[in-house]
Amino acid sequence: MLNLAAGMRNPRRLLQKLKNIASNRIKNRMIKIKRVYDKVDIHDGLRILVDRLWPRGIRRSSQNIDLWLKDVAPSTELRKWFMHQPGRWESFKKKYEAELKDSKALAKLVDIALTTDTITMLYSTKDMEHNNALVLLKVLNRRVAAARRRNSNKIKR
């Protein structure tokens, strides 16, 4: 428990405790990916579908998906070009990252990741080694880390 009265006597100590609390909360946050067809787990946190198309066999009224951010998925053109061909994987990653560069949907996802303890990004493809969620996870982790560094620098000032 944080003793605010003690903090008033020693503001530096209070500030340090607040920084430690914020730091611990940030360290415990997690971003992960999983197939939308996999079993729901209580540790999934906020479940976000990151595919442009709604997955086959899943009802739109499903309680298994909390949010659908289809605009963070690869463009229709890029998705059709890629068609989950492993030989196109390296090019796909570069092209998809370029699409994400100025994406408003990605900015929204970063905000969600910064304010939510755990998020699980859901994808529907069977290919667990070559899919948009893997690329998105990498990009999102970089953006969230950069945002946390900026926020940390603001607190230090």
With 80 as the cut, is the pLDDT of residue 4 above it? Answer: no
User: In angstroms, what CA-CA distances link 20 with 2, 31, 151?
Assistant: 11, 21, 14
Beta bridge mates, 32: 120
For all residues of the chain together, what is the average pLDDT? Answer: 87
Strongest mean pLDDT among 19-28, 66-75, 141-150: 66-75
Percent of the chain with pLDDT over 70: 80
With 70 as the cut, is the pLDDT of residue 14 above it? Answer: no
Residue 47 CB coordination number (10 Å): 21
Element (H, E) at 119: strand 118-123
**In the chain, domain spans:** 29-156
Confidence (pTM): 0.79
User: In which band, very low, low, confident or very high, does the pLDDT at 30 lie, cut at 50, 70 and 90?
Assistant: very high
pLDDT for the residue 28: 63
